[in-house]
Amino acid sequence: MVNSGHVRGQGVLRCVTDDHRPGMFSTFAPKAIGMIGKKLPPATLGRCIGIELRRRLADETIERFAHQDDADLGNLRCRLRRWAMDNADALNVEVSMPDNFDNRRADNWRLLFSIADLCSGAEEWGDKARAAALKIEGSSDSKTINTRALTDAKSIFYPKDADDRPLEPLERISSSDLAAQFATYLDSPWAEWRNGKPITQAQLARVLKPFGITPQSIRLPSGAVIRGYLRTQFEDAWERYR
């Protein structure tokens, strides 16, 4: 029900009559999911825009929300409904996207950008929406664990020095070295992959397998032949899952 609502024209069947006749209910609508953590199925997580909430500091002031459906909320609902009815036909689904906003990420933001563009006037809400999207996506861990592995593998094959200057790319790497370098990313899941222990060669191979990337026999510069990966094995996946 959640995933189908990401696409226009989708819905779910439900029995609604006394004789249990099935009817189609549209699911194309925005949905808000409140939860602790981000343990969602990958297909759902990829359709989400993550907004992280943090515990407030003792000296931060807030306006307490009464959780009451009062007149102010009723007025806001009416205004939003009126705006939606007046502008539904004017919404343009073909809008400009920031760099690297494609595929599902573009689907997540397209309608929001369209609404922002339509609201732009004295204040450029379209520009503000795109700036917010870049910041949210830059800090959001909305990638599946598999695509996160691709990103981290690319940073290993294309290393940089302490000043963020590119170094000589690696052509190949052993399975043991790749797993060991994954485990050095302390802000990632790899350092404590299972039961507090770093990810192993076999576990990393299973994470990469959906992309058709599997360890093979490689020859190191020393002449030794061991199990590992070639950079060329990743290049197609890097292009497809940027």
Residue 148's pLDDT band (boundaries 50, 70, 90)? confident
* SS3 of the chain: helix, strand, coil, percent, to 5: 45, 10, 45
Between these two residues, 28 and 139, which has the higher pLDDT value? 28
For the chain, the C-alpha Rg in angstroms (whole number) is: 24
Q: Of 106, 122, 103, whose CA–CA distance to 114 is shortest?
A: 106
Between these two residues, 143 and 58, which has the higher pLDDT value? 58
Instruction: Determine the 3-state secondary structure of 172 from DSSP.
Output: strand
Between these two residues, 114 and 240, which has the higher pLDDT value? 114
- Examine the pLDDT at 142 and tell me if it is beyond 60: no
Which single residue is written with the structure tokens 């790749």? 178
Structure tokens at 66: 């009464």
Between these two residues, 68 and 182, which has the higher pLDDT value? 182
Q: Which helix (H) or strand (E) holds 218?
A: strand 216-219
% pLDDT > 90, the chain: 44
Whole-model pTM over 0.75:
no
Residue 74's pLDDT band (boundaries 50, 70, 90)? very high
